[in-house]
Amino acid sequence: MGGGCRETKTLLLPCWYDLLLLFFSFLCADAGGRSCFVRADDPAAVLDRSDDPAAVLDRSDDSSSLPSGRDTFRGTQSQRWRRLLQLFGLMQSQEETRLAEMAAEKVRHDIYWKVKEIEAKRKMGEEYRENLKQQSQIEAQRLRYEDELAKKRKQFCSNFDTSFSCGSAGGLRTLLTDRSKLVMGIGGVTALAAGVYTTREGARVTWGYINRILGQPSLIRESSMRKFPLPGLKALKPSSASLSGGAGFENVILHPSLKRRIEHLARATANTKSHDAPFRNMLFYGHPGTGKTLVAREMARKSGLDYAMMTGGDVAPLGSEAVTKIHEIFDWAKKSQKGLLLFIDEADAFLCERNSTHMSEAQRSALNALLFRTGDQSRDIVLVLATNRPGDLDAAITDRIDEVIEFPLPGEEERFQLLKLYLNNYMLKDDDKSSPWSTLLKKQPKKIHVRDISDDLLRDAARKIDGFSGREIAKLMASVQAAVYGSPDCILNPQLFSEVVEYKIAEHQQRMKLASEAAA
């Protein structure tokens, strides 16, 4: 359709141009009947309109030529009018053609959209029929299911009526007709329900009371306190505090100056309890795995106190219940007749600065509760905090600390002693406590044979593992034990020991590199 319109415009342009020229030439004709405008493409007009002065004089003087000139003018005008009429006819035919093309294009456009509409209605009809089909199938399935349920219900009711009529129909009829028996039956059912409810609630209250007396708080992960408060009853296993008469810190490998200070604090704590003086709170800080928890446990054992350990990370998930749990710990600690050493590991998890933006309102309330319970010096509880980041602790917490002790990484001599200790514990020490029945009932592990593991080899390894903590050294020796168990003959020789030490050193260096990159 667009191509037809451009062709029509191209044809109309010269037609209108010729028509205008003819019309203006007719209007502007001179007195002699000749047009002042001459078509450049008309040779006759050019020849007729000669600019020769002699010719002009001849035409003006020749009066006999007037009739022939008038006839020529009339003939020319008639030709021009005929041409004008032809042009009008051509224009009309072109306009009719253009209108016909537009009408045909409109018809095609209408037919296209009608086809689209019919196709859309057809698809909607198919989808509607498919939905009706699915709904009818679902409805038929539901009706079949309800019919089966009705049949089963009817069968069950008939069986129940048959059995009930045979056994207790007479008793139920008597109960319904006798008012006194009906009242007694209703009263009995009510009393039974009340008894069940009272028993359940009473058991819950009683168990809560017993748990408050006997049980330890849920935040306590490890404790040496007896489960039974009465002096005549004994715990199922002896507490570590009962072993205070034994040796002191032989199993704790520390720097000599730090060990002397720990032993001095243990003796001071024991004398403080015997003189009924207030205890001194302590803060242990240092790298992970440097023996803070072990020292706290051994200090409680050496000083004759009970021991309880909790983790600061357990406080945050409690939310609003954290305050109640903190108070439960201090109330429970007062039940100890010996005094309690409360060790809080990872203390910075909930005892950090109160102005910190990431500290929740529940954590802030738990911190305030602990500050309230430790505001005065206590004769019942020794508070020992352990943290890797002492600078994150709240100022009010550090103000309640009397002794601050740093646990550095072990030196070369301490690393050597730790290697000897774990070598003896993991590979040289026989299980003397095993009973003869255990050898018969359980499969005995293979015995590790240690060959040529000298002190010089251990000292060389101690020099290489500079920067290892006590926990990392323990894991190193556990890896040595696993490597020995992985060998076919269970023999520990210097080559195997050196291989394990080398890859554990590489692993330690890689871990330090990752930690430094994360800190950066």
pTM, rounded to two decimals: 0.55
Beta bridge partners of 306: 340
CATH topology of domain 220-408: Rossmann fold (3.40.50)
How far, in Å, CA of 347 to CA of 120, rounded? 71
Is there a contact between 426 and 478 (Cβ–Cβ < 8 Å)? yes
Helix-helix angle 494-519:455-464, to 10 degrees: 20
Class of 413-519 in CATH: mainly alpha
Q: Which residue has the tokens 């240092």?
A: 286
pLDDT at position 104: 92
pLDDT at position 172: 61
Q: H-helix or E-strand containing 50?
A: none
Is there a contact between 338 and 280 (Cβ–Cβ < 8 Å)? no
pLDDT at position 437: 52
CB atoms within 10 A of CB 335: 16
The one-letter code for the residue type at 434 is: S
For β-strands 306-311 and 220-223, DSSP reports them as antiparallel
Q: Where are the domains of the chain?
A: 2-142, 168-214, 220-408, 413-519
Q: Which two tokens stand for residue 136?
A: 């009818």
How far, in Å, CA of 488 to CA of 172, rounded? 80
pLDDT at position 491: 87
Going from the C-alpha of 415 to that of each of 85, 95, 166, 497, 512, the distances in angstroms are: 123, 109, 88, 16, 19
pLDDT at position 430: 54
How far, in Å, CA of 72 to CA of 67, rounded? 9
Which residues of the chain carry a pLDDT beneath 50? 1-14, 30-63, 228-247, 431-433
pLDDT at position 231: 43
pLDDT at position 501: 93
Going from the C-alpha of 67 to that of each of 70, 78, 230, the distances in angstroms are: 5, 16, 160
pLDDT at position 212: 58
Helix %, strand %, coil % of the chain (to 5): 65, 10, 25
- Contacts for 263 with CB less than 8 Å, ≥ 6 apart: 248, 249, 302
Is there a contact between 250 and 370 (Cβ–Cβ < 8 Å)? no
As a residue count, the chain comes to 520
Q: How far is CA 213 from the centre of its chain?
A: 41
pLDDT at position 338: 86
For β-strands 491-492 and 381-387, DSSP reports them as unpaired
Nearest to 344 by CA among 309, 371, 370, 315: 309
pLDDT at position 176: 63
How far, in Å, CA of 137 to CA of 145, rounded? 12
pLDDT at position 301: 86
pLDDT at position 253: 87
Question: Mapping DSSP to helix (H, G, I), strand (E, B) and coil, where does residue 239 land?
Answer: coil
